[in-house]
A and B are shown apart, each in its own frame.
Chain A
Amino acid sequence: MKFRGKIVDVACLNHFTRVVTTISKLTKTCVLRLNPDNLFFVLSGKVANGGVSMWCELSQANFFDEYQMEGVSPENNEICLELAPENLSRALKTVQNAKSVKVKLTKKHCPCLTVCAELPTLSSSSRVVTHDVPVDVIPKRLWHEFKEPSVPDFDVSIYLPPLKTIKNVVDRMKNLSNFLVIEANMNGEMNLKIETDLVSVTTYFKDLGNPPWGDGASQDGGPTQSRDPDSMAEARVDVRKLQQFLVGQQVNPSKSMCNIVHQSVLHLILLHEDVSLQYFIPAVA
């Protein structure tokens, strides 16, 4: 099992660092999956994380100048590692001005993802800094827990308002209630609501637009069929989980949307040209 990647371009390094930093704000530990074309940061929905799950996909060619890997076996040409993204983020943040950064799988005191950077100096020789991020290798028999999630059979799919706006609203709502209802319809309308004994507050968004999923993405009984466009689908979620998703966003997405499975799950999708992030928040009663 081997992995070695090299980033030389400073913009790519910066972008990669921001992605990793975003992930580090979403979860303390996650799984990194590597295959010849992509990297995935995966958080599987377990009771321990309150049922929240995450899938972040990066196309390696858009970040790495060199990328070589050998998976567990030729038939299973993949590597699966568990790590603390905060460590990786910290390591990358300190080397933003490096001439080149190599990331490789090594075995030091334990299996590590080693970030090795060559830093520019005033003298003739370079300064070399090495960060060893300890990882746990996930054995193949557990890989099924970290598969790409399928798009749920949603009731409504809608583009999100600017994340910053939502964040401002959610930040203030958090002070009033622990739970927030997010509802939307196929007419481009979305409401964020909180309701307590004393007060209820609703923020209305209009003209957001609904993504055209088309035949490829929709499952049986997709949203376009026989659904009253004004009918709202809602999900009541823990406001802190939603806030956590919004707080760490460092990557400005070109498209952001959410799918709501009525009273079941809130599926948030952020798309960037070379990174996609999906985040699932379960609905509570």
Chain B
Amino acid sequence: MQCVVTGGNVKVLAKAIHSLSRIGDELYVEPQEDGVSFSLQLTVFLCRYSIPDGRNFRCKIAIKSVQSVFRSLATLEKTVEKCHIELNEQKDRLTFTLHCKHGLLKTHNLSYQDSESLQAVFNKDTCTNEFRAQPRVLVDTVAHFPPSLEEVTVTVSDERMWVRNHVEDETERSKAMLTELCLASDEFDHFVVKTPNSVTFCLKEFRGLLVFAESSNLPVSMYFDEPGSPVVLSVTDGVLEGNFVLATLSDDPSLPKNKTGSIAHAPPSPPPDDFMNDDMDSYLIAMDTSVASGPSTAGPSASTLTDPCTSKLPEANHRTRTHSEEEEEEMEDGSERPPNKKFRSLFFGSVFPPSPKMSTQPVTTQEVLASDSEDES
């Protein structure tokens, strides 16, 4: 496998790598017909591509190694003209060669491990709730939550979206600080809710994606159905499309339960501006007259699910990707994964139709003027 990334796309690739590094530690590399996938769990974007045979191949690399290739974005922009990526299966090596100005070549040889092909199962088109917003809106929203927060719950009704922090531990719930932000539908470029309900997912990955979307100034789309089904976050422009699939908690007793079609169970609009929601006085009387103070919190039984943020990849549910000339990577309809298997994956796909030139373009060998690799080829 060999491919070349030219010009401004090198910086985009670098930004994507940095963005992915915020989310995970290992990068999966998988050559495909129309591009190479580098990602946390999947692909990014490329231009010219050739593959010696049609074998399905996939490997994984520590993401820090790849990050070191694209270390300084500012320098990349100024000095790198193109990036040549070559897979050497005999030596288990992935070579990145940066062609810089003044004829300088920087070669990075990274070792990898073989890995199985994996795909997450999702289908954006069948999701009943769909939103799209400028990244700034979402960045400003998550800014209200502390950086250490693991999970957020998003609740939607016809006209609004509420985002609040999710408190996992039941004992914490009585003493935790709760933050809730309400966004009106007109802050979004697109806002469609067919099944009002709530989903809870990992904030950390969401933030990573937002960093990328904001730096590339791409609107972020969000698709989901119901708790348990994944949330798909998507960024797209003419050249690439990224799909980010997050698992959601399938049964969270603290969420407002959804009755079909009913909006009534979404959080009500902010209460009228009066003093208090509840009667503090009776609470005080109760406190004064008893030794043990504090209201009893009759919390519901805790969810038995594990934290989505610490899950491992599911066992391979291999599906061959059906490539098409269109932008998306279509997934076949079919049974979804059982909701309590959690996974995170990031899909970026090239939207360039495979051109006839691509596969036949010979890759010219370049003289390596300066290489920092240990062994010679």
Contacts and interface: CB of A to CB of B under 8 A. Distances in A.
Interface of A: 1-4, 68, 70, 72, 87, 90-91, 94-95, 102, 104-112, 116, 119, 121-134, 136-137, 139-141
B101 interface: no
Contacts of B287: 137, 139
B295 A110 contact: yes
B276 A105 contact: yes
Describe A's contact surface by its main secondary structure: strand
B275 A134 contact: no
B164 to A, nearest CB: 9
A66 to B, nearest CB: 10
B284 A129 contact: no
A110 B144 contact: no
A94 B176 contact: no
A128 B182 contact: yes
Contacts of B276: 2, 104-107
B114 interface: no
Contacts of A87: 177
Contact of B278 (A107, A119, A128): A107
Interface string B171-185: 001111111111110
Contact of B187 (A95, A109, A123): A123
Nearest to B188: A123
Given A4-B275, A121-B187, A128-B182, 5 more contacts: A2-B276, A3-B275, A107-B276, A109-B297, A127-B187
A122 to B, nearest CB: 7
Nearest to A69: B275
Contacts of A2: 275-276, 280
A70 B279 CA distance: 13
A135 B296 CA distance: 15
A261 B163 CA distance: 53
A111 B179 contact: no
Nearest to A141: B288
B177 A136 contact: no
Contact of A127 (B146, B176, B184, B288): B184
Given A94-B143, A107-B276, A1 B281 contact: yes
Contacts of A108: 178, 277
Interface of B: 137, 140-141, 143-144, 146, 173-184, 186-187, 270, 273, 275-281, 283-284, 287-288, 293-295, 297
B174 A106 contact: no
Contacts of B175: 110, 134
A135 to B, nearest CB: 10
Contacts of B295: 107, 110-111
Nearest to B283: A107
A164 B184 CA distance: 45
A91 B177 contact: yes
A90 B177 contact: yes
In order of increasing CB-CB distance, the 7 nearest A-B pairs are A107-B278, A125-B184, A2-B275, A132-B178, A123-B186, A87-B177, A129-B181
A160 to B, nearest CB: 34
Contacts of B183: 127
21 contacts: A2-B275, A94-B143, A107-B280, A108-B277, A109-B178, A110-B294, A111-B280, A121-B184, A125-B184, A126-B184, A127-B141, A129-B179, A130-B180, A131-B177, A132-B177, A132-B180, A134-B174, A134-B176, A136-B293, A137-B287, A137-B293
Contacts of A105: 275-276, 280
Nearest to B184: A125
Contacts of A95: 144
B335 to A, nearest CB: 38
Given A105-B276, A131-B177, A132-B178, A137 B184 contact: no
A110 B184 CA distance: 28
A133 B178 CA distance: 7
Q: Kindly name the residue among B174, B275, B295 whose own CB sees the greatest number of chain A CB atoms within 10 A.
A: B275
A136 B283 CA distance: 11
Contacts of A130: 178-182, 270
A256 to B, nearest CB: 32
A94 to B, nearest CB: 5
Contact of A123 (B178, B184, B294): B184
A21 to B, nearest CB: 14
A56 to B, nearest CB: 21
A72 B284 contact: yes
A273 to B, nearest CB: 30
Contact of B283 (A3, A111, A116, A140): A111
Contacts of A119: 140
Given A104-B275, A104-B276, A110-B297, A137 B177 contact: no
Nearest to B276: A106
Contacts of A125: 184, 186-187
A72 B287 CA distance: 12
A124 B186 contact: yes
B297 A102 contact: no
Contacts of B180: 129-132
Contacts of A141: 288
A104 B278 CA distance: 12
Contacts of A110: 174-175, 294-295, 297
